[in-house]
Amino acid sequence: MKRILITGGAGFVGSHLCERLLNEGNEVICLDNYFTGRKSKIVHLMDNPFFEVIRHDVTMPYFIEVDEIYNLACPASPIHYQQNPIKTIKTSVLGAINMLGLAKRTGAKILQASTSEIYGDPELHPQPEHYWGHVNPIGIRSCYDEGKRCAESLFVNYHESNDVRVKIIRIFNTYGPKMEPDDGRVVSNFILQALQNKDITIFGDGMQTRSFQYVSDLVEGMIRMMNTTDDFIGPVNIGNPTEFTMLELAKNIIQLTQSKSNLVYMPLPEDDPSQRQPDIRLAKEKLNGWEPQIDLQEGLKKTISYFKEIISEN
């Protein structure tokens, strides 16, 4: 049994990770300040004697004895991370410093949940890990993009200067049950609009692309990365390489929900990437052949069922 700390453990991805690691027989400590996390996502785990929940902000130091740390704490959707951009940068940078300090003191292995956003609006497609990115450092999205880029730098430097055992993954668009209805992500937006027969909002011409991975595939990749040997630190792309346009996604969801929604077009937000697709060859090589197992149709059906329950409860 390992003692595992998950920052942002009451969030969308964090709550799935808590559940998986508990089911594997570990002791899990969930740390969250509930800025975007929700206690409702983890309440079903609270009867487990090996699960602990702590309200804490990672911008402040935290002291505990653990074997592993998954550093997930940070708002991850534009609507949330742009709400308080200074807080977002502090969470990424100070949170990384505090958790790396904890890992250094305890000898714990620590994984950084970085993001495909560090590639910005990419000029190289698909995006391999050696690509440095094309990011506007003062744009509306920079609080998240640059915060995560700085966190990666901190992880590498703590590893090289202090021998901290670090792992870095870059997460591409992820969806599934436990997403927040108001998080502004395209999958949740489209599903909710379709289920309520409202107009589906397409930003730009709808030809920008994304690659969508189901949350269980991400969690599997995270755990495999944590279990790699200490000499491999990453970064590693974790995402689904199958690419879809926003129009394809919208039409797919309309069909699956049998919705009467119409498509409406709105101006494209500032610095919105035109394309995003992971090169996952390194993940396949280093993570025991990891690759996504849930295709978009199957994943959307599960996510639609979840949001149907959310709507019926309200």
Candidates 202, 274, 209; CA nearest to 241 is: 209
The answer to whether 276 and 134 have CB atoms below 8 angstroms apart is: no
The single-letter DSSP state of residue 121 is S
DSSP letter at 127 equals: B
Omega within 30 of 0 (cis) for the link into 177: no
Tell me the three state secondary structure of residue 20.
helix
DSSP 238-268: ES---EEEHHHHHHHHHHHHT----EEEEPP
Q: How far apart are CA 116 and CA 238, in angstroms?
A: 9
Residue 129 token pair: 């890990």
Is 70 considered catalytic here? no
Q: What are the residues facing 209 on neighbouring strands?
A: 245
Q: Which two tokens stand for residue 238?
A: 């974790």
Angle between helices 296-313 and 246-257 (to 10 degrees): 60
Distance between CA 222 and CA 215 in Å, rounded?
11
Contact 7, 68 (CB under 8 A): no
**Residue in 70, 119, 144, 158 annotated catalytic:** 144
Active site residues: 144
